[in-house]
Structure 1
Amino acid sequence: MTKPSLGVDFFEQLYQADADPWQFETSPYEAAKYAATLAALPRPRYASAFEIGGSIGVLTAQLATRCDSLLSVDLSPVAQAKAIHRCQNLPQVRFEIMNVPHDYPSDSCDLVLLSEVGYYWCWADLHLAQARIYDSLKPGGHLLLVHWVHDAPSYPLRGNDVHDAFADFAATQLQHLHDGRTEDYRLDLYERPA
């Protein structure tokens, strides 16, 4: 039986116990993954980007340098308060508390980043997210997925589940541009055909 999606209580407890529970600020693994994430983007700049699950804003601040406008959302007000502080000198970044995929912005964009989020969803929410992401992407827009691939028993899905599901979805909807894998994470870049 599939576990339900993890909600705000799960994340608020984590961030209240530890302001950086995954060591986004200090981990060499995270730094290398962020560099690979940004290197995978085929355009030097994006007019409008949407980051799902911005957490404390470490990747948000780096991604913002490539965006004219960036909306970063998260479930956790505690985490997002840190992200807002980190990005206070980046006027192109907007923040909202949002429970994606049930909440989703109405704007279309030319980049959606789904990094280390998809495995917190149940299958139904993952499928809803796929449809919403696709609908929000402008023709020629990019979807970048990055997920850790090791087992996390408390999560509803695994990173490979998320990437395999997007590969199936993309077969008729999106063009696969890049596959980056390490022993710890998968990175896939898709484009919505123009």
Structure 2
Amino acid sequence: MRLLAHQIEIVEAINNNFVTSISAPRQNGKSYAALAAAIEIGGRTLFVSQGFAAAKCRFTEAERYESDRVIKACRTNGELSVIRESGTINFLAYSKYIGRGMSADTLILDDADFVDNPELIANLYPVIATSKNPRIVALGILPDRGLAAHFYECADKVLHWYGDTEAKANPALGTLISEKAIEREKQVMPPDIYRRDRLGLYD
């Protein structure tokens, strides 16, 4: 899939910074852009998601990404990893002891605003501690909630899409998500959830 302008901005931010905080409403392609950055940058990446189903979705996208060749894809015994010519990406779900015994150059934390366990930082930072060019990427809807808040405060680069209109808050409107889909979403979602998930606002 060809990257959109805001996704290219995300890739460049990740490539040029140690800690990057990225927040935007759902379905705007921020997770895909982070994955694209990991593939293009190369090296070893640990991509952490909310649950095994989400990790599997990112794994499938990595298999299909049209860049360098996939050498090997592993999906055995709960392990999800893709070895490409540019490097290796391991996909995991958040857990109490995540990262123990692992090493990587890039650490991508998806839905970090929904993870409220600061102790995870103690487990995750050593993963990149020995890398010569480490990167941490925190993704979410709201930059100042949960685990995302910590990295928002110490980020070298912050990309934050939000606003009082759908057009302002959603850079992928009209491409990855349609106006019709948003109208339906507004019809069925509780107002406070809609403000959070589609506008990136939280009272």
Question: What TM-score do the two structures reach when normalised by structure 1?
Answer: 0.47
Higher relative contact order (CA 8 A, sep 6+): 2
Question: What TM-score do the two structures reach when normalised by structure 2?
Answer: 0.45
